[in-house]
Amino acid sequence: MSSIRVFLLGALAERGPMHGHQLRLLAEKEHVHMWTDFHVGGIYGALKRLLAEELVEPVRTERDGARPERQIVSITDAGRRAFDALRLETLTSFSLRPDPFDLALARVGKDLVSDLPGILQARRAEVAAAADHHAERLQHVDQYLTVAEQHVMRHQNHRLQAELDWLDTVLADLPAIVEDETTREAD
């Protein structure tokens, strides 16, 4: 599944032909960086791939003043079919991506055991700050969102809160983690 493909094909299907910069501005306006797994800068490369796959096609070029020419693209029939399939696949499947932090925690090593409390507290503080920031932004944009968009934004709140709850259990078990690591290193 590719979130960026769903975004680009969906935007072109819903809004009609656009150039890459318009798609980037739309992504920024919709704050996709807050609730997707791609950055707006990746739009141009993804758009080139969609062109190569003939899921979008150039319809014309435009020039605004002294700015460079911009290629306007439109979704093709194949692109609409791909969008429909991607959207259905995304809505009907669950994806839980592993967090590399887990592997590092499982292999913390004797050399980092003494630093682990600080590392975990710093991670918790970072996640808490992200949760607070996200909740604050949601308060400012909530009134402009559709009901579905509100749920999407709140999903991030729930995920961040789950991460905080999990980190609290890790911190509570820190003495046992340190003991296990010390014992494992001794074997």
Nearest Cα to 9, choosing from 68, 41, 54, 39?
54
**pLDDT(15) > 60:** yes
Nearest Cα to 79, choosing from 111, 109, 106, 46?
46
Distances (CA, A) of 89 to 2, 85, 158: 10, 6, 23
pTM: 0.70
Q: What CA–CA distance (Å, rounded) separates 19 from 71?
A: 6
**Tokens, residue 115:** 């630093």
Band the pLDDT of 181: cuts 50, 70, 90. confident
Judged by DSSP in three states, 95 sits in coil
Per-residue pLDDT, 187: 56
Nearest Cα to 43, choosing from 8, 11, 72, 2?
8
Band the pLDDT of 148: cuts 50, 70, 90. confident
Per-residue pLDDT, 39: 81
